[in-house]
Amino acid sequence: MEGLGRVLREHPFFDGVAPADLDEVVGCAMNVRFAADQYLFREGEIADRFYIVRDGRVALEVYAPGRGPLVVDSAESGEIVGLSWLFPPHTWQLDARAVVPVRAVAIDGACLRAKCDQNTRLGYLLMQRLSSVAHRRMHSARMRLIDLYGDSRAG
């Protein structure tokens, strides 16, 4: 587990997290790899984890009938993928596909939720950071939609 502790400690998402709190997260973590074009998760499946991207690039996609998959955002090294593990009914709201080979750390959602229930300081810290990720993703998706469809306020 020391290797995962080092990896998470060096990841920007966990910058400044107390060592004892980080140890709690490490207890829910495991290394994973995905080949190019492999899905990390698919819309509608059970959302039981999130991913700390170490290397590679992940496309976040929604399926549009008649158009196929549309990329609404992407995540690269240093970023987080997957927020649906936090919210009932814990199902993925989109697809996440490795654009190139991806190395990541998977964090078990049920394990981490249980630890956050016990350690509310850790829970609050993670909620702040994950909310920030969600906010950035929403803004990025909005910008992509404006690029795709234009600004509806302009005329």
Please tell me the distance from the alpha carbon of residue 24 to that of residue 20, in angstroms, as a whole number: 7
Q: What is the pLDDT of residue 155?
A: 47
Question: For the segment 55-104, what is each residue's pLDDT rounded down to a tens digit?
Answer: 999 999 988 888 888 888 899 998 999 989 988 999 999 999 999 999 99
Nearest partner of 62 among 100, 101, 33, 92, judged by Cα? 92
Q: At what angle do helices 109-118 and 19-26 cross, to 10 degrees?
A: 140
Task: Please provide the average confidence, as pLDDT, over all residues in the chain.
Answer: 89
Q: Which CATH number is correct for 2-147, 1.20.120.1200, 2.60.120.10, 3.30.300.30, 1.20.1050.10?
A: 2.60.120.10
With CA atoms as reference, report the closest residue to 109 among 37, 29, 40, 55.
29
Tens of pLDDT, residues 112-126 = 999 999 999 988 888
Q: Do the beta carbons of residue 74 and residue 48 sit within 8 Å?
A: no
Determine the pLDDT at residue 100: 98
pTM: 0.84
Which residue ranges make up each domain of the chain?
Answer: 2-147
% of the chain with per-residue pLDDT over 70: 94
21 near 119, Cβ under 8 Å? yes
